[in-house]
Structure 1
Amino acid sequence: MLDLELSTSFLFCILSLLFLFIINFSKSIFTTFFPSTSTSSKISSKIPRSYPLIGSFLAFYSNRQRVIQWTSDAVTSTPTSTFVLNRPLGRCQVITANPSNVQHILKTHFHIYQKGIIIRTHVSDLLGDDVDGENWKFQRQVASREFNTKSLRKFVETIVDTKLSDRLIPILSSAAANKTVLDLQDILQRFAFDNICKIAFGHDPAYLLPSLLQEKFAVAFNNANK
């Protein structure tokens, strides 16, 4: 008897979800063939449609090769520069380009926006265990004070200027003179990596050299970022 009751409840649950899915699917078909010309409908047309269970997976999958442009178009089409992207199985993600929202999350109310176990697990190998909560806030405060000192700013200017004159400009000049094709993204990444290592660790990995050899630490750092 209990099994029968459970089976019946499960059946009603499935039928309810199926009904909601059909309703939403029918609405999407209707709006496709009978589009509205109002301003609000034009705005909402850029917001990805959401369906029961799968969320906005269909829109995400169709734009998987241009995710940044797709989300940028959606977020800039809203009056608040913010929208909710519904993920499969009830998960959701808030995407915003509103400066006041960013300040609310990253500064004034930072303490209530914890990163969560998923992000902490992924970044712990690179940043350690203190990547959330009060420990993370304390480290940010210490770092912000250091980066506001005149001596550090002068130090950064000196290092960047040295890397520009001794490495980046000669490589670009040589490539121009010899009509050599360069991967500019790779060149700028090497330039940034040399500067970061020298500023943060006091070590020059010499990643930006004319030979453009691979450096183990640079490769490991890129893999960690990915």
Structure 2
Amino acid sequence: MYENPGLAGLGTHDELRRHRLESGDLAPEIIGGINLDEGTADSGIPLGFVVRPGRPWRRALWSQHLTEGQASDRSYPPCHRWFPHRSWPVAVQPPPEGSLDEESLDALLDTLSRWSVDGPGTDCVAFYASLPAGDFDDPHVWRGPLSAVPELIEDRGGPYPFSPTNLWPTDRSWFIWTDYDLLGTKVSGPRQLVEAVKIHPALETVDWSAQPH
């Protein structure tokens, strides 16, 4: 998640979209004869991998926004229900759905490398589910060194606009899961690895299993 103080007070992503629609700067989104703009709101939440924006954008913490406005609904895994915004302010780039962002992916891979038997060369399997792969007919499974994972992503020259749905080493010592409809990534593994993820300065974590359901 990132924020740009220079855009504060300029409204929400939905307000900006509707202004552009009214001015004719943007065409309405029509699918199957249905105008989606008439009954939906633009939340501003990006779908898929997000590259680290340059200045004046700066990293923002979930905790800053979880405490704003109404209480979040944490009976669900990390998703839009955790935040008070139906549509986010244009000054904020919310966390993406279905993928780690660039900074989080790099930080997580760095941590996994340090806790894997062969470091960045650890033999891993990456799986893409049907929606992030854009393919409902064939399975998308890749195998290679941990260091090659970023090469699967479009912005790094790969075929996918998302980070992997699942990622694990062939020795099965840890497991990563990113759901297409959620804003967070689940890390499972030895306690020492989980603690290393928690203390990484570029990663923000929550023990969701400890939340009331």
**Same fold judged by TM-score > 0.5?**
no
More strand by share: 2
Which structure has more relative contact order (CA 8 Å, sep 6+)? It is 2
- Which protein is bigger by CA-based radius of gyration? 1
More helix by share: 1
